[in-house]
Structure 1
Amino acid sequence: MPYLSRIILLSCLSLVIAGCSHHQGKPSGGASNMPGAEGTFEFKPSDWVESETTWWVDSDGVNPGVAGCHIGTNEKGVPNGRKFGEACLANGLLVESNPGKGELHSHGNDIGHPDTFDCNAWCVGNGHTSGVCEVAAAPPCEQSARCACD
């Protein structure tokens, strides 16, 4: 049952993210010079807190080859129990949270702006023959994703 719950959670997250993907912006500062960077979009977490500035720390920074976890905190960086992992969209793009690894940052109106990556382009640009987005573990998040290169 936990496996089914994870698949349902990832599917729901993918649908929410896919529904927001038409709000594309330019890649974040950390992604702007990386191969495969497609741009950012507005992301509202499933436990969205309207009209609040929320605080977060990213476990891996902009690193498509590593599955990351975005960890909710207070303004001093103390974890508050909120979290979400990176994800693979239905179109194969990786949702990669930002900014830098361990950097405490705010989300106005509790809305983040993660990057999206074409994993094949990212992998080829880093000397591999090909790549795909794959679901992967990233504790403390139950589920995340990364670019897997051949």
Structure 2
Amino acid sequence: MMHADDCVFCQIIRGRLPASYAYADEEVVAFMDLRPLTPGHLLVVPREHASGLMDLDEAGGLHVWLVAHRLARALRHTKLRCEGVNLLVADGAVAGQQVFHAHLHVIPRFEADGVRIGTEAPDGERAALDSAAAAVRAGLRRLAVVESD
């Protein structure tokens, strides 16, 4: 299993730093965020180091998502306040990523919890939305070529 010596999540996974684990299997671990936005705020982290989504293979990403989904459902069966859930990935510094090991936040939400995520955005212009969709489709075609090489 690949780890990065200077990665805080790799150090947690190897037992060099403490964490409050909620889940672990052969591929991922889930532990409580050290700076929780709300009680029960979890991080789902692949055991193998991947700096971001570009480094995380699709099977690994799918497993992270499946575990996060299960944990989000489980939160609703706890005594923690959980009227809703945010699943959040910050990929890259400009997206707010602070620990450069891919991970998915599972954040329980409740009325008046004080958490604000994102900003209000105006409706997009249809031409701009169509253009962005075309760019994504082109990116998927290029990705398929890269992955087949």
**Shared fold (TM-score, shorter chain, > 0.5):** no
Which protein has the larger Cα radius of gyration, Structure 1 or Structure 2?
2
Between Structure 1 and Structure 2, the one with more helix by share is 2
Name the TM-score, length of structure 2 as normaliser: 0.25
User: Which structure carries more relative contact order (alpha carbon 8 Å, separation 6+)?
Assistant: 1
Between Structure 1 and Structure 2, the one with more strand by share is 1
